[in-house]
Amino acid sequence: MKPLRVTAAVLTAVLLISACSGQTNDAKAANPAPTDGTLTVGLLGDIGQPPDPDIYYANNGLAIVLNTYEGLVQYEDNLDTVKIAPRLATSWEVSADKKVYTFHLRDGVKFHDGTAFTSEAVKVSLQRRTDVKGGAAYMTAGVQSVDTSDPSTAVVTLKEGNAAFLDYLASPFGPKMISPDGLARNKGSDDAQTYLTTHDIGSGPYSLSAVQTGTKYELTQFDGYWGTRSPFTKVELPVYNDSSALELAFDKGDVSAIVAALPSSDLKKYENSAAADSYLLPTLQSALVTLNPSGSFFKTAQARLAFLQSLDREKLIPQVLGNRSELATTLYAKGMIPDGADKQNITYNPEAMKTYAATLPAGSTMTIGYATGNPNAQQLATIVAAQMATLNIKATAQGYPTAQVFDWVNDPAKGPDAFFDGNNGPDGGNPYMWGHVFWDKSGGINYFACDDPSVDADLDKAVLTGDNALFVSAAEKYAASGCYLNFSYNKDWVVAQKWLTGVAESHNIGANELNFAKLGIKG
Amino acid sequence: MIGFLTRRAGAAIAVLLVLTAAVFVLQQNSPGDPVKAYLGANASPAAVAAERASLHLDDPLASRYWHYLTQALRGDLGTSYRTHRPVTADLGAFLPATVELVVVAFLFALLLGAVFAMLRTIAGTFVRGILLVGATAPPFLLALGGIILFYAHLGWLPATGRGGNDDGFLLTHSLVTGDWAQLGAGLQHVVLPALVLAVAPAVSIGRILRASLQQTLGADHVRTARAKGLTEAAVFGRHVLRNSIGPGLSMAGLQLGFMFAGVVVVEQIFSWPGIGNYLAESIPAADYPAIAGVTVVLGAVYVVTNTVVDMIQALADPRIAL
Amino acid sequence: MSDAAVVPRRFGVRSRTPAVHNTTLNRLLVGLLLLVTLIALAARLLAPDDPIQPAGDFNLPPGSPGHLLGTDLIGRDLLSRTLWGIQASWLSALAVVLVGLLVGGLIGLVAGASGGWVDNVLMRLTDLFLALPGVLVAIAIVAALGPGLVHTLIGISIVWWPYYARIIRGEVRALAARPHVEAARLAGASRGRILRRHLLPGAVPTAIVTASLDIGNVVLLLAGLSFIGLGQLAPAPELGADTARALTQLLAQWWVPVIPGLAVMLLSLVANLGGDALRGLLDGRR
């Protein structure tokens, strides 16, 4: 047994030393470009839901939906403000009452099953969105009729005016055009949902050629695509369930690009790397803090505002989020309201919280929640929990799985006192899409149902006409409740091999994903 | 024998009933709204209500459980909230990967366990040292350490996936059809996760086997056999090994059961498309049909393994009657 | 007992005697078990800094001035955190093993000593619990009681005792068949007396050795459960949770997950070697 113990001791030491020396591969040379026309984009975790555009409502697999399907419009690529650009519609007119939207459709567009794109496809696709009742079915709920008398013009009439409708269509989660013939052929008993789990009948630059749920997704270039094509005839999207494994695969050159999947603690490594390119691209996403008025801790707006003021964002953001984020100065997403008129008036002032803490009984407890699997939110929550201890408040930081987070609204008292959202955002660029989800009682991301009915009414009124002044006053009213803090504006972080070009040009503020058709190989 | 099998079948049914009932009670009491998680933040209350109704989520617990059991008898384990596919289809897709991983890992564990127990050269000491250290490391750290060493630094082994486009019994299938290239790729992919999974069980098996060998070596009948002038190999093979293998076998059976739980961590790090990964993704999504399905499968596997181990033990050691 | 040399060296298994010769080393290793327990209890005195409050800059590497093992993601001293983590992990594991030993031991003892239908019923019950996938039961308990280290420990304890019940029952059955127990029974000793005088003392060494070997397993299980999000809540320290939560930093700041991970290994190794040594000492005395 003696030599065994010695061996064990030696091995432990070797392990320690090799762990220490495992860090010296930063100065590695750049990896070579692929010669077989295959682009490999690593996914962190499975896409989770079928890549059906009327069902898929998550971020991870959005690249698959957005490269196989196209909408009528999209957000302008490579731009950090909200601007709607043509896609399958080349131009459009909106009636003054925001009720009638007329789209002039692109010529020569074919779906992957060979069907030509006409106004009929617009009608069928919008109807399917409503019928399938997925998470983003609200976008077409207001559609009254689609006039298809001219195959190259689609006239969409809404039940009532909606200034956000174009943003619904431009949203990455918005309605996408699906081949009406293909849908009819594979209708089954569920509007072709089964078929679209493993196939696609969109018009995008790529078609879905293989699905291995949990392992790999594969896209093949569509020969009949109307737009420009990239040198990549095949795109593979392998699933990695661990971020370190994904990172090692990238460093070795087995993965060409990673979109928004690596932890911020790696930011410095890639920003200073000579072997890879690191891109920070604009989005509508933010880190957010939500406070729970139903718990014992934050019953009053005064207490909530005191807590929000105690967060030293100027120090926390660079430390935790790095260059990926900047201090948020507005209540909506960056650039949503012209000139930043929706100013957020929360500045660092720890005194108010000290005063409030002094009024509390000794040993008061506070729970600070974060979404499981978001290291940034976890870190923020942990730091703030530690800071609370200096005020004699016993705070814990706790991770919650998604299903639980969305359940709080049914009984807010079950939720934590505060919730740190590492990254969240609206479906699209209209202020209504932000205000509604975060502040409206029925919005969905108003986790603790902290509600002001007059704010809801203002938002509902503003969306009919797109009245920015009304949007601003609603935001200011809600901010006074202290339930909500726009913590920081976040960017998308893309890490790509040196040979990959067109990364910034293939990304837009809404999508948080790359348009693979616009990527290229250097030289 | 038939009585034994009947008893075990009865036990299996009891275990499965307890497990599924536990999952249903858990589902009733646990926080988390699967429909909201699935439909997303912006889903309208009407869409949520419709989905809840279509999933029978608002029915009383007992009626839902009864419905589940009767459907399960017909081979229908419900539809996953997350993947929108039948749970049986998901299990059919993910179980083969886990089975192959666990079988390979189990073979490794037996082999390494035997080495741990018997080999007494310098190499044996070295292997024992590695195993002992490996078995004491948190499995996720060991797995990542393995990837860093064998994939990133040495480039000997792939880090993730199974190395093929076939979702089913990749290794078995390529072996049967004689697709040697595929078999090679598959084996290359399975080595690292299987080793990580095998290390701790190997030490447990090896330790028990070693203790039991030591005990037998000191026993009277072994001295007698040696005194009779039998060769060392004959003494060891016929008298020592046969009489000491029992405790090792029963530990091996126990460890096989543990391995099916260990896959939750190992599959995640190695992105192995098995039921461990499926379970890990289903838990945060509150996807109870999927959780119940995995539980049923794991419970069944556990009972079957124990039964088989008991039978093998009875075959190996005539003193044990079933 | 001197036939160790006769045993074929090729197969490399010696009979048990050599353990006796290593008494000093064994005592030393068992001493390690006690030392770790002492460190766990004295974490408060040994740790230079508060384990929860940041004490320096973020992610300082080991060897930084004032922080021997460096600092973590939010600037807490890793040495202090690891010491407190040893306290949480080691004492938790001790608690689970102790509960398993008491509950399982009692059931095993009663089943083994009684035999007949009592044995049958108790062992069926034990088998039922053994067949439950432990991880899932722990998840169920945590879901029902709410997250936290104590709830996780309750969950583990529920699936932990059956192993002890099985082992102790087996040992008791074997002891009951031994000649001296048989003789006591024939001499008319009462069932209680046989249990107290012969079966219990005979089963205690096995139980203690199994338990000490088992501490490492519980430490590792806690780490595994932390990996899937159960266990100690942040910001309180626990080795497994600290390792699992910092795993995303493995490539950028390796020391943050590796140091608590090595502490897990150390605890597990000490439990293993200490358990083996304890077995050696007890066997030597027998």
pLDDT digits (tens, 9 = 90+) for A456-476: 999 999 999 889 999 999 999
Interface of C with A in 246-275 (CB under 8 A): 247-254, 258, 262, 265, 269, 273
Q: What does the pLDDT average to over C248-275? A: 90
Q: In Å, how far is C131's CA from the nearest CA of chain B? A: 6
Q: How far is B36 from chain A (nearest CA, A)?
A: 6
Span between the terminal Cα atoms of chain C, in Å: 13
pLDDT, one tens digit per residue, over A360-369 is 887 788 999 9
Contact B45 A141 (CB under 8 A): no
Q: What is the pLDDT of residues B237-258, one digit of tens each?
A: 777 777 777 777 777 877 887 7
pLDDT at residue B316 greater than cutoff 80: no
pLDDT recorded at residue C9: 36
Q: Give the pLDDT score at C3.
A: 31
Mean of the pLDDT values across residues B166-194? 85
CA of B182 vs chain A CAs: smallest distance (Å): 17
Nearest to A1 among C22, C254, C269 (CB): C22
Whole-angstrom distance, CA of residue C117 vs CA of residue C1: 41
The mean pLDDT of A77-99, rounded to a whole number, is: 94
Residue C139 C-alpha, separation from nearest chain A C-alpha, in angstroms: 13
Pick A96 or B240 by higher pLDDT: A96
Q: Among A142-146, A278-282, B235-239, C93-97, where is mean pLDDT lowest?
A: B235-239
- Tokens 């095998």 belong to B198
Confidence of residue A101 (pLDDT cuts 50, 70, 90): very high
Please report the pLDDT score of residue C214 as a whole number: 85
Question: Taking chain B, what is the end-to-end CA distance rounded to the nearest angstrom?
Answer: 6
B303: pLDDT strictly greater than 80 = no
The H or E element containing residue B129 is helix B122-136
Residue of C22, C147, C252 with shortest CB distance to A398: C147
Q: Given this model, what pLDDT does residue A24 score?
A: 43
Facing C54 at nearest CB: one of A375, A386, A395:
A386
Contact A19 C234 (CB under 8 A): no
Q: Could you tell me if A70 and A172 are in contact, meaning their C-beta atoms sit under 8 angstroms apart?
A: no
Contacts of A401 in chain B (CB under 8 A): 32, 283-286
Q: Greater confidence, A223 or B124?
A: A223
Are B11 and C127 inside 8 Å of each other by CB? Answer: yes
Mean pLDDT confidence for A165-178: 95
Find the range with the poorest average confidence among A269-283, B70-84, C135-149. C135-149
Note whether C151 contacts A: Cβ–Cβ < 8 A.
Answer: no
Residue labelled with tokens 């709607």: A84
Min Cα separation A21/chain C (Å):
10
**Cβ of residue C204 closer than 8 Å to a chain A Cβ:** no
Beta strands A153-158 and A100-105, pairing class: antiparallel
Q: What number of C-beta contacts closer than 8 Å exist between B and C?
A: 137
Q: What is the dihedral of CA A344, A345, A346, A352, to 10 degrees?
A: -150
Which band of pLDDT confidence, cut at 50, 70 and 90, is reported for residue B184? confident
For residue C242, which of C83, C82, C43 has the smallest C-alpha distance? C82
Q: What is the pLDDT of residue A396?
A: 86
Residue A455 has a pLDDT of: 93
Q: Nearest chain B residue to C260 by CA: give it.
A: B138
Q: Please report the pLDDT score of residue C136 as a whole number.
A: 63
Give all chains having 3 or more CB-to-CB distances under 8 Å with chain A: B, C
A-interface mutation test, from B199, B271, B281, B288, most A Cβ less than 10 A away: B271
Determine the pLDDT at residue C17: 44
Which amino acid is it at B173?
A: H
Q: Which of B31, B41, B270 sits opposite A444 (nearest CB)?
A: B41
Identify the pLDDT of residue A151: 95
Q: How far B171 CA lies from chain C's nearest CA (Å)? A: 27
- For position C10, what pLDDT does the model report? 38
Interface chains of chain B (3 or more CB pairs under 8 Å): A, C
Asked if A506 and A279 count as a contact pair (C-beta separation under 8 A), the reply is: no
Distance CA A19, CA C262 (A): 11
Residue of B nearest to C10 (CA): B120
- What pLDDT is attached to residue C8? 34
Reported as a pLDDT band with limits 50, 70 and 90, residue A172 is very high
Q: Would the pLDDT of B321 be above 70?
A: no
C-alpha to C-alpha distance for A2 and A470, rounded to whole angstroms:
79
The stretch C250-277 carries a mean pLDDT of 90
Q: Determine which of A429-443, C129-143, C173-187, C219-233 has the lowest per-residue pLDDT on average.
A: C129-143
Of A50-59, A413-422, B254-263, the range with the lowest mean pLDDT is B254-263
Question: Does residue B319 register a pLDDT over 70?
Answer: no
Backbone angles phi, psi at A206, to 5 degrees: -130, 155
Rounded to an integer, the average pLDDT of A303-325 is 91
Position C263 confidence tier, pLDDT thresholds 50, 70, 90: very high
The H helix count followed by the E strand count for chain B is 14, 0
In angstroms, what separates the C-alpha of C175 from chain B's closest C-alpha?
Answer: 16
Contact state of A437 with B41 under an 8 Å Cβ cutoff = yes
Instruction: Pick B217's closest partner by Cβ from C15, C227, C268.
Output: C15
Interface contact C74-A372, CB threshold 8 A: no
Name the band, by pLDDT with cuts 50, 70 and 90, for residue C186.
confident
> Are B134 and B142 in contact, with CB atoms under 8 Å apart?
yes
A247 touches chain C (CB under 8 A): yes
CA–CA distance, A253 with C34 (Å, rounded to integer): 49
Q: For A475-502, how does the pLDDT look when each residue is reduced to its tens digit (9 = 90+)?
A: 999 999 999 999 999 999 999 999 999 9
CA distance C119 to chain A (A): 39
From chain A, pick out residues whose CB is under 8 angstroms from the CB of C58: 319
> Which residues from B are below 8 Å from A15, CB to CB?
133, 145
- Give the pLDDT of residue A85: 95
- Of the residues A7, A265, A366, A388, the best mutation for testing chain C's interface (the one with the most C CB atoms within 10 Å of its CB) is A265
pLDDT of residue A4: 56
Beta-carbon separation of C268 and B217 below 8 A: no
Q: What is the mean pLDDT of chain B?
A: 81
* CB pair distance less than 8 Å for B31 and A238: no
Whether B144 and C247 lie within 8 Å, measured CB to CB: yes
- pLDDT at residue C149, rounded to an integer: 86
Residue of chain A nearest C269, judged by CA positions: A8
Taking CA atoms, what residue in A is nearest to C265?
A: A12
Reported pTM = 0.85
**Environment class of B220 (CB within 10 Å of its CB; exposed 0-12, middle 13-18, buried 19+):** exposed
pLDDT score of C6 more than 50: no
Q: Which residue has the higher pLDDT, B118 or A192?
A: A192
Pairing state of beta strands A38-44 and A234-240? parallel
Q: Do C224 and B26 touch (CB under 8 A)?
A: no
- Which of A2, A23, A385 lies nearest to residue C234, judging by beta carbons? A385
Nearest residue of C to residue A5, measured between CA atoms: C273
| Chains in contact with C via at least 3 Cβ–Cβ pairs below 8 Å | A, B
For residue A3, pLDDT over 60 is answered with no
pLDDT tens profile B56-66: 777 888 888 88
**pLDDT value for B185:** 87
DSSP 8-state code for residue B135: H
Q: For residue A38, what are its two tokens?
A: 């295959």
Over residues B17-28, the mean pLDDT reads 76
pLDDT confidence of residue C211:
86
Where residue C12 falls among pLDDT bands split at 50, 70, 90? very low
Mean of pLDDT values over A186-208:
93
Q: Of the spans A442-446, A514-518, B58-62, which averages the highest pLDDT?
A: A514-518
The reported pLDDT for the residue numbered C131 is: 66
- Using CB atoms within 10 Å of the CB of residue A29, give its burial: 0 to 12 exposed, 13 to 18 middle, 19+ buried: exposed
Chain C residues near residue B31 by CB distance under 8 angstroms: 143
Contact at CB, C235 and A382, closer than 8 angstroms: yes
The string of pLDDT tens digits covering residues A229-248 is: 999 999 999 999 888 899 99
Confidence of residue C168 (pLDDT cuts 50, 70, 90): confident
Say whether A385 and C54 touch across the interface (CB within 8 A). no
| pLDDT category of residue C135 using cuts at 50, 70 and 90 | low
Name the phi and psi angles at C275, rounded to 5: -65, -45
- A–C: how many Cβ contacts below 8 A? 81
Q: State the complex-level ipTM.
A: 0.81
Write the pLDDT tens digit of every residue in A252-262: 999 999 998 88
Section A312-318 average pLDDT: 90
